[in-house]
Amino acid sequence: MMDRLDRHIHTLGTAFARFAGGLMVFIAVIVAIDVVTRNVTGQTYLNAYEYSRYLFAVALSFGMSYVLLCGAHIRLDIVYQKFPDPIRSALDLLSSLSLAILACGLAWFAVDLTLESYHNGTISTSAASTPLALPQGVWALGLVVFAVTAVFMAARHVLALVGGPRAETAYFSSDREIEEAVADAAAQRGT
């Protein structure tokens, strides 16, 4: 069951990351169009400044699950590498659980903010008068998916620690990332 759930979460995380990448390209296009039209006609037609901020927040929240699934988040490994395996496993578990708690908190407050904006009919103060519940709702969706992913990864980590050897928990450590980086560098050098 965990493997099937893992596949679904990876599929969803990858789809969200691709959508986030598309949003970044779209932001670049609308900003470029806005810059050109402002310089040629003296007017802004797309309101790119406001919408690019909303889209950037959405792209960020949509990419967070994928970053977690790939283990590409920022981590300081200088001291970590000097610890024995049991301590490293405990630190990995602590970071996994901490991230799950943080992600759930972010998702909770994002959904709460979205619902509050919806119930109050809050709109942006710009000329576009965008109902803020729309961009906030999409942003909150990304954070909810991130929270689900973080909780799944933490649960998977706990299950691996309880029932599996160190090889099972190595999936969560930076050792795997270092080994992959060394293998990639060796492959590029042809050795």
pLDDT tens digits for range 41-50: 988 888 898 9
Which residues 6+ apart lie within 8 Å of 90 measured at CB?
A: none
Please state, for a pLDDT cut of 70, what percent of the chain lies above it: 86
The residue range of the domain holding 126 is: 2-189
Task: Tell whether the torsion through CA atoms of 117, 120, 121 and 125 is positive or negative.
Answer: negative
- Expressed in angstroms, the distance from the first to the final Cα of the chain is 39
- Has residue 173 got a pLDDT over 80? no
Give the CB-side neighbour count of residue 182, counting CA atoms within 13 A: 6
pLDDT confidence tier of residue 164, bands split at 50, 70 and 90: low
- pLDDT mean over 115-141: 95
**Binning pLDDT at 50, 70 and 90, where does residue 116 land?**
very high
Residue showing tokens 């919806």:
118
Residue 90: pLDDT band (50, 70, 90) is confident
Q: How many CB atoms lie within 10 A of CB 75?
A: 12
Mean per-residue pLDDT of the chain? 87
Element counts in the chain: helices (H) and strands (E): 6, 0
Q: What is the DSSP letter of 25?
A: H
What is the pTM for the complete model shown?
0.82
pLDDT for 85: 85
The domain tally of the chain equals: 1
Say how far apart CA 148 and CA 164 lie, in whole Å.
23
Quote the crossing angle between the two packed helices 48-70 and 85-120, to the nearest 10°. 150
* Token pair belonging to 125: 């103060």
As a whole number of angstroms, the distance between CA 89 and CA 80 comes to 10
Dihedral, 142, 145, 146, 150 alpha carbons, nearest 10:
170
